Structure 1
Amino acid sequence: MIRAVMVMNTQGKARLAKFYDFQPVEKQQELIRSIFGVLCGRPENVSSFIESDAIFGPDTRLVYKHYATLYFVFVFDSSENELAMLDLIQVFVETLDKCFKNVCELDIVFNFNKMHTILDEIVLGGQVSETSSDQVIKAVDEIIKMERSSNSLTLGPKTGSGRQGR
């Protein structure tokens, strides 16, 4: 099971943090700080896999990928394959790149809801639900289209000043 997905910048500021098992907010912030402390101290030429028993408890692993100013981190237990999780990060980043035309930190900050929707299409409840970037984009486009039509129904038709003929 995937226990958490995080995206943080190189200063340690979390841009996305989704925990699939309950953690109080204070504990989440402590975990993010601990993970960042481990990541920023690692040389670039070492493995992207980390045993995270000391941070998350027994039987947890962490895999990360560093792209430009962002770290993409997946925390998971032994029921998941490390290489599959690394590939899932790649799917997540590729999907974001397709949606935002070469994703950057500002895209994540200003499109927070879309970022969560994309992640929810890939990982749901800690389980991998979709690994095809194209299928994720189709689903996200459909959700956005439904939200827009729902909003237009809620707002009703546009009317002028409210006065009809004099």
Structure 2
Amino acid sequence: MIKFILLVNKDGQSRLSRYYHNILGEERENLERETIQKCLPRSKKECSFLEYQNMMLIYRRYMSLFFIVGVDSDENELSILELIQNLVETFDRYFNDVSELDITMNVEKAYMILDEMILNGHIIETSKNRILAPIYATENN
């Protein structure tokens, strides 16, 4: 199960976060800070998976954004990398070559895309057309 998804810029500032389990404010801040400190300084040659506390962190860098996903230790890491790739491609399709500015200026649309893909920590949709259809429908009204 997916526990959380973070989009962080290269300076460590969180641009988007979604949690799929109950976690309180201060504990959430500590988790984000420690997760960012673990993932950002890693080199490109290092593996994109790392164990942290009782979960696995899977991350990937695209342009100036880091996509970090925290999952249960029994989750398939490669499927989560595919999820990240699909999320980036969906953002690219919607925003026409997504950038950090696109996410910060259209955070509600970014959350809508994410929510169409993941529900309660489980991947429910991977088709870019099906993910974007409700978002395009809200724009046409």
TM-score (norm 2): 0.94
Q: Describe the superposition over 1:69-88 as per-residue Cα deviations: whole angstroms up to 9, x where unpaired.
A: 11001111134210000000
Distance 1:81 1:33 in 2: 24
Aligned structure 1 segments of 4 or more residues deviating by more than 4 angstroms: none
Unaligned runs of 5+ in 2: none
Q: Which amino acid aligns with 1:29?
A: E
Q: Which has the higher strand share?
A: 2
> Larger relative contact order (C-alpha < 8 A, sep ≥ 6)?
2
Q: Describe the superposition over 1:126-156 as per-residue Cα deviations: whole angstroms up to 9, x where unpaired.
A: 11111122221123222444xxx4xxxxxxx
Q: Describe the superposition over 1:96-139 as per-residue Cα deviations: whole angstroms up to 9, x where unpaired.
A: 00000000001000101000000000111111111122221123
Residue of 79, 83, 93 corresponding to 1:84: 79
Alignment of 1:119-134 (within 5 A): 119-134=114-129
TM-score (norm 1): 0.81
Distance 1:42 1:113 in 2: 30
RMSD, aligned α-carbons:
1.2
Would the alpha carbon gap of residues 111 and 49 (structure 1) be closer, same or farther in structure 2, given more than 3 Å must change? same
Residue of 59, 65, 68 corresponding to 2:60: 65
Q: Which amino acid aligns with 2:119?
A: L
For these two proteins, the number of residue pairs brought into alignment is 141
Unaligned runs of 5+ in 1: 150-166
Structure with the greater alpha carbon radius of gyration = 1
